[in-house]
């Protein structure tokens, strides 16, 4: 379609599409593992904690699934997790007051009010997005177990309203709001394809461009390898690396990239703060980069292969958090893993420093890290997840503190 078609809010769309993606104010999840219907408010820095099994990992994975939608990998990610049936909420469609009080056992009913679905969404002050994944249409195809994208919505602002809806994808049909009402732009979108990857013209679909640029820049760090065979311990090809690989394999190059940026002094101060005057060194030989740490009192630097798991992990976290190309959202899952308790305070200071440049969500079970971040950044949001009758809730969240969210209907 031409980029000149009419819009309800053309000036705002064009301005927002060319701006920096806004802060995610709300994450909403429906029907995913223990997250039957969870709506979580987010700030510039948000800390999510809770007991083991409370749903923290599922919340973290919900962010990743939304990111997969922007790259066309949502269906394959669900398939790798065992298929839609393996990740759906396993409890009843609704949990009555009598069930919660123990007056009657938790049980399902013979009829459903809504289709079986897994829904994910997020809101910003500019634009919001929702994706609804459902069971496949029965067929003889060998891919008949693949889940399908049934519905996608993009709307103006943080609250879904009919007048604010800008794009409505229902199965294969995609409609966008034009100057004189709805206009159909596709009728054959595949059930495994997202509008975020299919409608890629930023001039014709500026609101989609905004959503896609926001989500595609999200970064995740939950598996930085520190074992003795970890790639981060080996010499690495030295090329400019503003983004640390998810497993840390380009750590030496990423460290040097930060050291040759405006954030060099912050990285140096961060490492010295954590390890009592230690400095980072990167040397090059025949195109390979070698990372080492020089500690006070030591006659030679310690190579990456000699570092403890905790030291290597902290260096990797510092490098990721101080990237010269920060993402719009950085999600850290249990960053305290393998770190000595003495690194809790430096890690909290590092996270709060990085939160000045990018939105950060920290998922952790460390009460010490939660307290340290709260001390360093009193304005940070803190949520404790609790589980009741198999369902994850935000502790102490009531009707007034739960963000407004409407899933709509198919």
For residue range 270-320, what is the model confidence (pLDDT) as tens digits?
999 999 989 999 999 999 999 999 998 888 999 999 999 999 999 999 999
Q: Is residue 60 part of a domain?
A: no
Dihedral angle of Cα 158, 186, 197, 37, to the nearest 10 degrees: 40
CA distance 184 to 169: 10
* Strands of 172-251, DSSP E: 173-178, 181-186, 219-221, 236-237
| Residue 54 located in a structural domain | no
| Cα angle, residue 251 at apex, residues 48 and 292 outer, rounded to 5° | 115
**Is the four-CA dihedral 282, 283, 288, 290 of positive or negative sign?**
negative
With helix as H, strand as E and coil as C, how does 142-181 read? CCCCCCEEEEEEEEECCCCCHHHEEEEEECCEEEEEECCE
Q: What percent of the chain has pLDDT over 90?
A: 67
How high is the pLDDT of residue 97?
A: 66
Other C-beta atoms within 10 Å of 115: how many? 12
- CA-wise closest residue to 74 among 133, 115, 16: 133
Beta carbons within 8 Å of 140's beta carbon, 6+ residues apart: none
Q: Are 210 and 238 found together in one domain?
A: no
Residues 265 and 333 in one domain: yes
Question: What pLDDT is attached to residue 10?
Answer: 39
* Four-residue CA torsion sign, 391, 395, 397, 402: negative
The Cα 75–Cα 86 span in angstroms is: 13
What pLDDT is stored for residue 104 in this prediction? 61
70-105: buried (b, 16+ CB within 10 Å) or exposed (e) per residue?
beebbbebbbeeeebeebbbebbeebeeebeeeeee
- H or E element: which one contains 250? none
**pLDDT score of 1:** 38
Judge whether 121 lies within some domain.
yes
pLDDT at 205: 84
305 CB neighbour count, 10 Å cutoff: 16
Q: Mark whether 160 and 108 lie in a shared domain.
A: yes
Q: Is the CB of residue 198 less than 8 Å from the CB of residue 189?
A: yes
Would you say residue 260 lies in a domain? yes
Q: Convert the pLDDT of each residue in 35-66 to its tens digit.
A: 999 999 999 999 999 999 999 999 999 999 99
Q: How far apart are CA 129 and CA 63, in angstroms?
A: 13
Kindly state the tokens that stand for 261.
């940026």
The SS3 call for residue 68 is helix
Q: Answer yes or no: do 152 and 292 share one domain.
A: no
- Structural domain boundaries enclosing 148: 10-42+71-217+384-394
A 10 A CB-CB count for 340 gives 12
Whole-prediction pTM: 0.87
333 with 26: CB under 8 angstroms?
Answer: no
**What is the token pair recorded at 407?**
């899933």
Distance CA 372, CA 345 (A): 6
Report the C-alpha gap between 336 and 353 in whole angstroms: 17
Query: pLDDT (tens digit, 0 to 9) for every residue of the chain, 410 residues total?
Result: 333 333 444 344 344 333 445 799 999 999 999 999 999 999 999 999 999 999 999 999 999 999 998 888 998 888 888 888 889 887 766 676 666 656 666 655 544 566 778 999 999 999 999 999 998 877 656 676 788 999 999 999 999 999 999 999 999 999 999 888 899 999 999 999 999 999 878 778 888 888 888 888 899 998 889 999 999 999 999 999 999 998 899 999 999 999 999 999 999 999 999 999 899 999 999 999 999 999 988 889 999 999 999 999 999 999 999 999 999 999 999 999 999 999 999 999 999 999 999 999 999 999 999 999 999 999 999 999 999 988 999 998 987 889 999 999 98
Q: How far apart are CA 55 and CA 41, in angstroms?
A: 16
pLDDT score recorded for residue 214: 84
Handedness of CA 181, 187, 189, 191 (dihedral sign): positive
Q: Are residues 359 and 236 in the same domain?
A: yes
- Cβ neighbourhood burial of 365 (10 Å; 0-12, 13-18, 19+): middle
Per-residue confidence (pLDDT) for residue 18, from 0 to 100: 38
Q: Is the Cβ–Cβ distance between 392 and 55 less than 8 Å?
A: yes
Q: Both 231 and 293 in a single domain?
A: yes
Quick one: 85 and 150 in the same domain? yes
* The total number of structural domains that make up the chain: 2
* 55 belongs to a structural domain: no
- What is the predicted pLDDT for the residue at 20? 44
My answer on whether 230 and 363 are in the same domain is yes
Residue linked to tokens 């305070």: 345
If 0-12 CB within 10 Å is exposed, 13-18 middle and 19+ buried, where does residue 364 land? buried
d(C-alpha 19, C-alpha 87), whole Å: 35
235 and 365 in a common domain? yes
Identify whether residues 190 and 298 lie together within a single domain.
no
For tokens 């640029």, what's the residue?
A: 213
> In this structure, what token pair is assigned to residue 208?
């989609």
pLDDT at res. 35: 95
CATH number at residue 356: 3.40.50.300
Residue 369 and residue 253 share a domain: yes
Domain identity same for 139 and 255: no
């Amino acid at each position: 379609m031409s980029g000149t078609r009419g819009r309800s809010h053309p000036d705002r769309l064009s301005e927002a599409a060319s701006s920096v993606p806004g802060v995610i104010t709300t994450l909403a999840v429906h029907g995913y593992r223990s997250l039957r219907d969870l709506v979580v408010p987010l700030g510039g820095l948000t800390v999510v904690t809770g007991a083991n099994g409370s749903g923290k990992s599922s919340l973290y994975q919900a962010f990743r699934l939304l990111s997969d939608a922007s790259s066309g990998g949502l269906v394959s990610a669900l398939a790798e997790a065992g298929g839609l049936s393996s990740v759906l909420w396993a409890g009843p469609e609704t949990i009555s007051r009598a069930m919660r009080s123990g007056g009657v056992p938790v049980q399902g009913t013979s009829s459903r009010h809504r289709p079986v679905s897994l829904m994910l969404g997020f809101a910003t002050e500019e634009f919001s997005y929702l994706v609804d994944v459902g069971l496949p249409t029965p067929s003889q195809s060998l891919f008949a177990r693949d889940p399908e994208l049934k519905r996608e919505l993009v709307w103006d602002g943080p609250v879904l309203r009919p007048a604010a809806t800008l794009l409505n994808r229902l199965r294969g049909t995609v409609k966008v709001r034009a100057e004189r009402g709805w206009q159909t732009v596709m009728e054959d979108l595949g059930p495994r394809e997202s509008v975020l990857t299919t409608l890629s013209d930023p001039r014709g679909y500026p609101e989609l461009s905004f959503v896609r640029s926001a989500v595609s820049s999200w970064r995740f760090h939950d598996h930085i390898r520190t074992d003795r065979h970890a790639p981060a311990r080996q010499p690495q090809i030295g090329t400019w690396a503003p983004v640390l690989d998810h497993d840390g394999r380009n750590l030496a190059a990423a460290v040097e990239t930060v050291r040759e940026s405006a954030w060099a002094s912050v990285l140096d101060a961060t490492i010295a703060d954590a390890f009592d005057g230690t400095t980072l060194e990167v040397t090059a030989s025949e195109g390979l980069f070698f990372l080492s740490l020089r500690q006070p009192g030591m006659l030679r630097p310690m190579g990456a292969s000699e570092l403890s798991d905790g030291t290597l992990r902290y260096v990797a976290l510092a490098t990721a958090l101080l990237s010269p190309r920060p993402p719009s959202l950085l999600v850290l899952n249990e960053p305290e893993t393998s770190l000595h308790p003495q690194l809790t305070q430096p890690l909290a200071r590092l996270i709060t420093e990085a939160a000045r440049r990018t939105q950060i969500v920290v998922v952790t079970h460390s009460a010490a890290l939660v307290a340290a971040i709260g001390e360093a950044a009193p304005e940070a949001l803190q949520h404790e997840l609790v589980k009741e009758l198999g369902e994850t809730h935000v502790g102490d969240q009531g009707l007034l503190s739960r963000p407004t969210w409407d899933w709509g209907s198919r």
